[in-house]
Amino acid sequence: MEALKKNPPWKGRRGPVVLVIMDGVGYGKYKDGDAVADAKMDHLTAIKAKSPHTTLKAHGKAVGLPSDDDMGNSEVGHNAMGCGRVFNQGAALVSTSITTGAMFSGQAWKDIVSNVKNSLGTLHFIGLFSDGNVHSHLDHLTAMIRQAKNEGVKRVRVHTLFDGRDVGETSALDYVDPFEAFLKTVSTDGFDARIGSGGGRMWITMDRYGADWSMVERGWKTHVHGEARQFATAREAVETYRTEIPGIIDQDLKEFVIAEKGKPIGTIADGDSVIYFNFRGDRALEITAAFEEDHFDRFDRGRRPKVCYAGMMEYDGDTHVPKRYLVSPPSIDRTMGEYLAATGVRTLAISETQKYGHVTYFFNGNRTGKFDDALETYREIKSDVVPFEQRPWMQCAEIADEVIKAIGSGKYDFIRLNYPNGDMVGHTGVYQAVVCSMEGMDLQLGRLAKAVEAAGAVMVITADHGNSDDMFEHDKKTGAVIYKADGTPKAKTSHSLNPVPCIIYDPEYQGEYKHAGEGALNPGLGISSIAATCIQLLGYVPPADYDPSVLNMGA
């Protein structure tokens, strides 16, 4: 890797460049339900008023997703910001692989199918049960089930992780009913495909970054051992839990198994095959470890079935997890982090547990570890293991404490941090908590601004996607708020399609770029432009094939 070239016109700054990623904070389209606009964010408003600013695209094709109807997410967002270019991402790669037949001609699929045909076992699918297209898509699942039948597999069981975050918060039955009809249609000629178990994605199976392994343990016991409350159908399970726990949303639904005559129909046994069909890696690594690792100490797995296991994609390219996967992830090279390390730039990456992997692994192009141990410091602040609406400020003050020390220390040239509040609290759908989370974060932005001023640093404020800016469901045609039967707005817990901020706070500006007036920053760009922007602010020339910086250096 070659070092970056110095930019001679750059006059330098006394302090570091600080990249602040306000996770899930966009500019809302609708007044009603925009918790960002409703929050009292005096510090951000003041910073913006005296700084050049613009908006950036953070969804759809701007971050490598198939269409502009696809919401962005934290993983592809940090990929884009960290690598400075747009790569085709998970959903698009999987869809192409299915359409071309590449998935089904690959060795991983052949292993999965031949294993159950030889053992007369069951093919199990575990994954997020929606068409949110952030972690998974039901079209991928149905295509694989059809192909399995065509290739002579006789028995399929689906383990459904209900969404309620990337789709409507109580939309589970909108997916269950047509899927059950699909299974009935294909279950002919000796082929038997049924739902075997399920539960909410924030209650079982889909933990990440080791935040709450008890979720994975509940999922393991449910999917593998069939140890959960029994129901005749998935619909019955959903309706029962909604009746018994008023106000519960899909992501929190309790675990269940489908049973006949008191016996679960979907336990996982020796000789079976298992496909974890999420294409996104962060909430796939822990359940994968439970299936694959011989020396596993996170919980007592009890009976560990001997299965042929595959992930939809390679979830960790450095440790090669899982051992078998159906579709290769994008090959992201020459990231900003790698260039900075080659150039001798001292870097700090920091967040709390919920987004620590985003400012490290995802920012570095899905790479575990550092490019240079001597130059890079990674700092994880442990997240609270409580529902986010109960601690909506999360660890933003603790993150700010560490960053303020780092700014003043003189040890770092580039600091990147992520405040998870807007995304993690936004997903709860609790409006008051989201407003609180924004105001808590804003207090910390004010503290950072003072530190930036004192050190003669530069602060770039942006986001990876929208979420808190769009907290109510709206009619797609009229834009009117959709209300529930009790007269309250229907909460929207998924990401938005809204643009995100880009603010350049440069207290010791020395005239190297246009700083005020119309067109101060280059318009119409995506968040992939953050990399070139930060490189320029560090005094270097961005790689020629990076997406352009927002800075108008010709002024």
Do β-strands 263-264 and 273-276 pair in parallel, antiparallel, or remain unpaired? unpaired
Identify whether the C-beta of residue 73 lies closer than 8 Å to the C-beta of residue 280.
yes
Handedness of CA 126, 130, 136, 137 (dihedral sign): positive
Helices marked H in 138-269 — which ranges?
Answer: 138-150, 172-186, 213-220, 234-244
For residue 445, the surrounding DSSP H or E stretch is: helix 431-455
- CA-closest candidate to residue 10, choices 546, 509, 456: 509
Q: Which two tokens stand for residue 42?
A: 């005096």
List own/partner pairs for 374-377 with CB under 8 A and 24 or more apart: 375/340, 375/341, 375/344, 375/345, 375/346, 375/347, 376/337, 376/341, 376/346, 376/347, 376/348, 376/349, 377/347, 377/348, 377/349, 377/412
Q: Is 549 a catalytic residue?
A: no
Helices marked H in 347-430 — which ranges?
Answer: 353-357, 396-409, 421-424
- How far is 20 from 38, CA to CA, in rounded Å? 21
Q: Which two tokens stand for residue 114?
A: 């031949």
Q: Which two tokens stand for residue 453?
A: 């001023």
- How far is 154 from 22, CA to CA, in rounded Å? 48
Q: Give the number of other CB atoms < 10 A from CB of residue 272.
A: 23
Ordered DSSP codes for 87-112: ---HHHHHHHHHHHTHHHHSHHHHHH
- Label residue 120 left, alpha or beta by phi (over 0 means left) and psi (-120 to 50 means alpha): left
DSSP category for residue 125? E
Annotated catalytic residue within 74, 97, 468, 494: 74
Q: Give the number of other CB atoms < 10 A from CB of residue 252.
A: 19
Q: Which residues are catalytic?
A: 74
